Amino acid sequence: MDVSEIEKWRFCNNCSHMEKEIGVISAESCPHCGSPMWADSAQRIQMLRMRQVFATSSDRRSRITDESDDREPSFYVKQMLIDFEDGDIRDSYRIESDQLVFGFEYISKATFREINFGEKGEGGKNITIAGVELPRKGFSLCRACGKVQIKRGEIRHTTTCPLRTKESEENILDCVYLYREFSSEAIRILLPLTSLSGSERILHSFIAALHLGLKCKFG
């Protein structure tokens, strides 16, 4: 919490555009796709940028032995959002065919934001972001030390937290989403909608095939 501050962000329900909110919102609709849901209060959420993370555990629990591993895996709702300006599209190509839809464009600069919306499961309000509606319950954090709260009603702090002796719910930030951000070049690929609809497996199979093709072509 010393290196990042809680930020207010506004998300589009239809596309991957998002903006850090400073003061009053300047547009009633999404600046990129025109969605009127842009101004809805449900699309305004609080986030914390991941810059520094500490993991704490007792020595006994951190050791790996030959005994069976009884730790329970946790699964999280994560989403990668990619934002860019039209002016950063440098080249575009497509197949001149009415039967086959395929093309790609080179984007010189794009912003990638990976957001962790908290553990999967029941609870949390349903929010639609970039066309995906999911329950997103977020994380509860101590506002001073940033310790993630695991159980409802049990307040946890680090050993050096100034609020350690002040057990109050007012010292807990509820429903915070965590994100990391970086900029890079990008290639956007246009594909037939029917080839990918309805299955994440088909999408990831295509990504794997693309990686294999790049490896075979360029080594």
Concatenate the DSSP letters of all residues of 75-101 into one string: -EEEEEEEE--GGGEEEEEE---SS--
82 contacts: CB under 8 Å, gap ≥ 6: 16, 110, 111, 112, 113, 186
Residue 215 falls inside a structural domain: no
* Inter-CA distances, 103 with 1, 165, 191, 214, 218, Å: 44, 60, 7, 17, 20
For the chain, the domain total comes to: 1
Kindly give the parts of the chain with pLDDT less than 50.
Answer: none
- Tell whether 122 is covered by a domain: yes
pLDDT digits (tens, 9 = 90+) for 155-204: 888 888 888 877 777 788 888 999 999 999 999 998 877 666 667 788 88
Q: Is residue 140 in a domain?
A: yes
CA angle 126, 132, 135 (to 5 degrees): 25
Residue 149 within a domain: yes
Give the pLDDT of residue 78.
Answer: 93
In this structure, is residue 30 part of a structural domain?
yes
State which residues form the domain around 93. 7-54+74-192
Task: Evaluate whether residue 60 is within a structural domain.
Answer: no
149, 175 in Cβ contact below 8 A?
A: no
* Domain assignment present for 211: no
Residue 70's pLDDT is 62
Is 208 within the bounds of a domain?
A: no
